[in-house]
Chains A and B, each alone.
Chain A
Amino acid sequence: MSRLRTTSQPAGTSAGTTTASTEAVPPAGPVARSRRRRFPTHLVVFIAPAAAIYTVFMVYPLLDSLRLSMFAPRDGVQVFVGLDNFVHLLTDDLLSDAFWNAVWNNLVFFAVHFLVQNPIGLLLAALLATPTLSGRGTYRTLLFLPTTLSVVIVGFIWQLIISPVWGFVDTPLLGQSSTALVTLALMSVWQYIGIPMILFYAVLISIPDELTEAATVDGASAWTTFWRVKFPLLLPTVGIVSVVTYVANMNAFDLIYTVKGALAGPDFASDIMGTFFFRTFFGFQLQQGSSTMGATVATMMFLLILAGVLLYFYGWQRRVESYEL
């Protein structure tokens, strides 16, 4: 990281001069070899800006957050406290209850996505991939439309529609602790279903006809062909979609905050890691915000994401065979 930043310094100053010198290289002869010998300024010019912005505004803050999770304010200065913050988060009565509640809710939030978006996405993709279907492009665009909306808009659209004031739904689905979280998760599924649909669809249309024809010739019914030939080819994509959904869900925030506020009511029934992180960092009601405890929660979120990704790599991807088509 530091190496990148030091190399980026000469880039700005010497860019102009070396442009000229590269051009001065005689076009005939071993151009590539003579270029390789001089300092590759163009390489630095090409890569340094992207690497610098990425390093300063993404990698550094992430590492800084990791660092801060091991510090705590004492008399106005940040002092190193090792893993005390984590111990506090996991053992303090109030805090650990809130933390585990958020973890559990977040897993439920993901489970609803997993259980609903895969079958519906698969069904829609299979229908879209029907060879004789007309108007395919229009369907694709329309089915994808909700995905382009802001989560804030999605939250309010559904809040209005299921509001008892408008009268389509009588039960206050968002007001009861038993239904709030699942309702919010379904709103989110409604918005993002287009992504699994398109990815499944891409796999289905890339399956060569010979493969399905061979199965049909061998006497397999369409039903058997789907489950025995196409479905195994879809499994790697189901895995990728699920792991991407898991990562997105683990740092979801906008929807819950829009619909239920930072307190993620009723009685924290819809509290997930994102809202818990926000409250810990900025404080709420009587509890004061803390950047170091906020960083601690962020680090735990990172570990949860890492655990999910590793589980995917070792539990799913290794067992599911992927085929080159």
Chain B
Amino acid sequence: MSAVNTPVRGVTRAPAAGRPWRARAGAVVPHVILLAYVVVACGPIALIVMNSLKSREAIFEGPFVFPTPDTFDLAGFETVFTRARFELYFLNSFIVTVGTVFLVLLLGSMAAFALAEYRFAGITLLSMYLAVGIMIPIRLGTVGILDLMVRLGLVNSLAGLVLVYTAMGLPLAVFVLTAFFKQVPGDLKDAARIDGASEYRVYALAVPLVRPGLAAIGVYTMLPIWNDLWFPLILTPSENVRTVTLGTQLFLGQFITDWNAVLAVLTLAALPMLALFIIFSRQFVRGLTSGAVK
């Protein structure tokens, strides 16, 4: 814990020019510790990606060596695409994730707009009813969900997954977006109304103003859905509706001894979300802290 202290001391004492080494250490120590943890956090990921591009011998002989032209080998990726239909799994995951994010953002912003904009009887109760879902994990209702899906004929259909994930994502979306809509200036909406705009038109005007909220909720909704194993395992196990996460899990169980294939599939499954996160990391961090971190 002393490390927490060092940089702060370095900074607060910096004007006291008597101890320059201390100020310099105060500037370096945070970098040393943070870099060390970057290695802990990203090292394993880098190790997997790096070794997925190497031949079997090279994986075991020099795991920390970058792939060279000699050791470069895409055998693992070939196995993955010949033995499993990963392009299909990606498409399924893509449909489910995009479909859910679209529904959560559209329906969530509509409900949030109404809750922020109008006063009506039972609004507190309705807000609370919708907010309860933030704390209760939807997995506890799995028995009921499977039962319902069987009755609706939605087992092994992507639509079933989309509906469950939408229900799962809505409570937080409504809660967060309501706060965002409350910040939209009232003058703007009243001006539109005086010009004869319908309430739907006012909503359409207000939506672009809560874009940061939409971005944050979009990223926040997307990750757990793309990465979920539980519901695909239970609701959509059959091959043609399999998602990447379930496909990866099944593939890995089957090919655990083929290290090339295992490393290749891990790389393939990880890269899309890593890339998206690196692009949208700002929105994500802002969403997580409800705007405290810019």
Contact of A151 with B by CB under 8 A = yes
A28 nearest CB across to chain B (Å): 8
**Residue on A nearest B32 in the bound complex, by CB:** A127
Q: Please, which residues of chain B bring their CB within 8 A of the CB of A83?
A: none
Contact of A131 with B by CB under 8 A = yes
Flag if A49 contacts B38 (CB, 8 Å). Answer: no
Q: Please, which residues of chain A bring their CB within 8 A of the CB of B89?
A: none
Contact of B94 with A by CB under 8 A = no
**Residue on A nearest B248 in the bound complex, by CB:** A152
Q: Please, which residues of chain B bring their CB within 8 A of the CB of A305?
A: 136-137, 140
Q: Please, which residues of chain A bring their CB within 8 A of the CB of B144?
A: 60-65, 68, 295
CA distance A221 to B142 in the complex (A): 53
**Residue on B nearest A122 in the bound complex, by CB:** B4
Contact of B143 with A by CB under 8 A = yes
The count of residues in chain B whose C-beta lies closer than 8 Å to any C-beta of chain A is: 101
Known: A47-B111, A127-B30, A298-B141. A161 touches B44 (CB 8 A): yes
Flag if A222 contacts B45 (CB, 8 Å). Answer: no
Contact of A86 with B by CB under 8 A = no
Contact of A317 with B by CB under 8 A = no
Contact of A101 with B by CB under 8 A = no
CA distance A134 to B27 in the complex (A): 9
A35 nearest CB across to chain B (Å): 8
Flag if A61 contacts B274 (CB, 8 Å). Answer: no
Flag if B45 contacts A27 (CB, 8 Å). Answer: no
Q: Which residues of B come within 8 Å of A, CB atoms?
A: 1, 3-5, 7-9, 11-13, 27, 30-31, 33-34, 37-38, 40-42, 44-45, 47-48, 60, 63, 103, 107-108, 110-111, 113-115, 118, 120, 126, 129-130, 133, 135-148, 163-164, 166-168, 170-171, 174, 193-196, 198-200, 203, 223, 226-230, 233, 244-245, 248-249, 252, 259, 262-263, 266, 269-270, 273-274, 276-278, 281-282, 284-285, 288-289, 292-293
Which 9 residue pairs spanning A and B have beta carbons closest together? A61-B144, A64-B144, A61-B141, A150-B227, A57-B167, A46-B114, A202-B289, A50-B111, A62-B141
